[in-house]
Each structure stands twice: as structure tokens, then as C-alpha cells.
Amino acid sequence: MEIWQIILLYLIQPVTWLGVILAGVVYYRRLKQERQLFRIAIDRDFYEGRHFLKTAVFGLVLGGVISLAAGLMLNNGALLLLELAGVLGLLALPAIDLSLVFLWLAALVACFLNLTGNSLLNVSHHLISVAGKQLPANLLLVLVLFFLLRTFLLHYKKSTWFTPSIQNGKRGRRVAYYKWKEFSVIPLVVLIPADTWQSSVPYWPIFSFNGHSFGLLILPLFVAATLKVFKKEPQEMLRYYRQQSLWLAALSLVAAIGGLFEPLVAVAGILLVGILAGIFTFKRRRLDATGQRWYVETKEGVRVIAVMPDTPAAKMKIKKGDIILDCNNIAVHNEAEFYAALQKNSAYCHLRVKTYTGDLKIAESAIYADAPHEIGLILFQ
């Protein structure tokens, strides 16, 4: 019965159910945007929800092992601030990813209130050494888990999970760019000071170990990662982003270990992590701006923006960035000409394609006789 109380409290926390709702919202917004831009949903798979659950399970195992092994204890004020950070991050995510910003600010505020002895964060006398002096180090450990779990999110790199969009470029030609968004709410098992919770929630389950009493709580930790890529190969940017997250996790861990001996070391570590994360964000944008893969509209043929999975175009190994020069031996220069040429043969498709690197190739495949648009190519409208 005690475990069910802990699980029930996790399920009713705002971050948990807001995360579940947002997974559905992001999915339906993606389909709606794709249908508006390209008249068809590129990938109808609800991978947002699948990845949300998969990452949550992975985070529960990884976070539980690390937090319990390290004795991760947070007091009421820190829990409240982290919960608020998750709510704000979720509400902002449809427009911008501020998950790390809010988590970082929550950690800083919690450290400030703790070091100044604010009553919001006070704990019982015999636990002050664990939940008080070690609080900055424990908050850094939360950041370590955040970066490790964000690294896990960054392994979702299938090409169709990058949503294409269109904007006007220079010289009157349109440009395609690619957006990627993954997030989850992680059930993070943490320890809480026993006396504090017993006074406010008398029926809360309390455990004893080695002469100390404490409670268990499942904290919903919101983790997100987003990218917008214009000129670089999206998978290359994901790898770079992943490396940055691992560096931040390593830095946070080193600072957390130092913070066990001196709390101010942990506070300095939190500040440094925030500064470095900002520098890394700037470097990602700069790296993308210096790229050469510019998916721009062309008059030479028809530029491929994306390829739908499990379609004839995917079987023909057509890639985004390719230029279709002719279809069924008919030269094409726009989408209307391409589909007119495609309908010349309702059962078969013959394409002459120029790759992004300038190589020429021939691609052939059978297509659906009654639905040539299902060839699976996403082009400039």
C-alpha cells in the first residue's frame, strides 16, 4: 500500500500529466503542419508517444540506480522549485525548448535559499548535513541525470523524425529546413527528509536505514532536446549536440563530487554549467550557419525535401536534397510537371536523379496504379 501511495502521488503531479498531454499535442501539431505545407502527413507514426514512454522507462532505471546509490536527497523547497521548472518547461515547449534554462534557474534559486538559511528550505537538525549542506551537490546530480537522459533522447535520429518546413530565402527562392523535437518526463526516485513530511503528511511511508529515517518520492523530471537545422546534415548536428550533452554531464558530475566537501564548489559548478550550456547553444547555431547543405528551391529540376517511409521513393533510395531531372523520360521543373509525368505510366516510375553531391543516378520502381501521389516524395509545392 505504501508503494501505491508513492506511485499515485507521481501520477497526479502536474508535470506528469502535462507531459502525457503534450506528447499528443506535439504529434497532432506536426501532422497538421505537414498537411498544411505538403497536403499530406509525412510520417503518421506516433513516435513522439513511443519515445516518451521508452525514455521514461530508461530514465526510471538509470535515474533510480544513480539516485539511490548516491543517496540523492532533496527537501521541500527544492522539490517545489524543480516541479515548477518542469511545468514552465512543458508550457514553453511548443514554442521553444527552455527545459534546461528553468531547471538551471531552479537549482540556482534552491542553492541561494539554502545557503542563506531561508525557512522555505529548512530541514530537521539531524538531517541538515545531508539535505542542507549537500543540497547544491544533489542538485548538480539532478543536472547530471538531465544531461545523460538528454543524451539518450539524442539517439533518436531517423531521417523522417526531422520535420521539414519552408521559409523564403534569398533571390526569391524558398528554402527547406528541418526541425526535431524529443522529450519525456522521467520518474526520478529521490529521498526526502522524514521529519518534514511526517509533520505535513502523517500517513506518508517512512523507511529506516543505518539509523536514519527518510521517505521516498518519485519526482517527475522533464527532459527535452530540440534542433532546427538549415545548412548541416541533421544527423551530424545530433551527434555534435550529443557530445555537448556528455561534456556537460561530466562537468556536472565532477562539480557534484567537489560539492560534497564544499557546497560553494557545487554552486560554482551550477553557474559554470549554465554558462557553458549557453556557449554550446551558440556554437551549434554557428556550426549550422557555416554548413553547405542548403536545401534550396531549384529551376534545374525538382528538389526533394523529404521521403516518406515505406513508399516506392524510399525503396528507390531517393534522399532529401536530391534533384529529380526527369520522370518517365520527361523533363520536369516543378511539382505539377513531375506528377503529370508520373501519371504517364500508372504502374511504373523511372527517374533520372542528380544527387546533392552532383552525381547522376537512375531510380526505378513499381508504384500504386490508382494513387501516383503515394510515391512518397515531398517536394516544394
Please give the CATH topology (third level) of the domain spanning 302-379: Pdz3 Domain (2.30.42)
Cell, residue 318: 531517393
Q: Where are the domains of the chain?
A: 2-289, 302-379
Q: What is the mean pLDDT of the chain?
A: 85
pLDDT tier, 194 (very low <50, low <70, confident <90, very high otherwise): low
- Global pTM value: 0.88
pLDDT(116) > 90: no
- For residue 167, count CB atoms less than 10 angstroms from its CB and return exposed for 0-12, middle for 13-18, buried for 19 or more: exposed
Higher local confidence (pLDDT), 20 or 311 = 20
pLDDT tier, 158 (very low <50, low <70, confident <90, very high otherwise): confident
pLDDT above 90 covers what percent of the chain? Answer: 44
pLDDT(372) > 70: no
Q: For 214-240, what is each residue's pLDDT tens digit?
A: 778 889 999 999 999 998 888 899 999
- Angle, helices 135-153 vs 47-70, to 10°: value is 150
pLDDT tier, 125 (very low <50, low <70, confident <90, very high otherwise): very low
Q: Of 28-32, 121-125, 221-225, which gets the smallest average pLDDT?
A: 121-125
Using DSSP, state whether 368 is helix, strand or coil: coil
Return d(Cα 99, Cα 220) in angstroms, integer: 13
Instruction: Say how far residue 127 (Cα) sits from the centre of its chain.
Output: 36
The 3-state secondary structure of 148-178 reads HHHHHHCCCCCHHHCEEEEEECHHHCEEEEE
Cell, residue 282: 551558440
Which residues have CB under 8 Å from 200's CB, separation 6+? Answer: none
Residue found under cell 535520429? 157
Backbone angles phi, psi at 298, to 5 degrees: -130, 155
Q: Where are the alpha helices (DSSP H) in 93-134?
A: 99-115
Backbone angles phi, psi at 210, to 5 degrees: 55, 40
Amino acid 179: pLDDT: 92
What value does the mean pLDDT take over residues 61-73? 88
Which one of 2-6, 87-91, 203-207 scores highest in mean pLDDT? Answer: 87-91
Return d(Cα 110, Cα 352) in angstroms, integer: 61
| Contact (Cβ atoms closer than 8 angstroms) between residue 177 and residue 154 | no
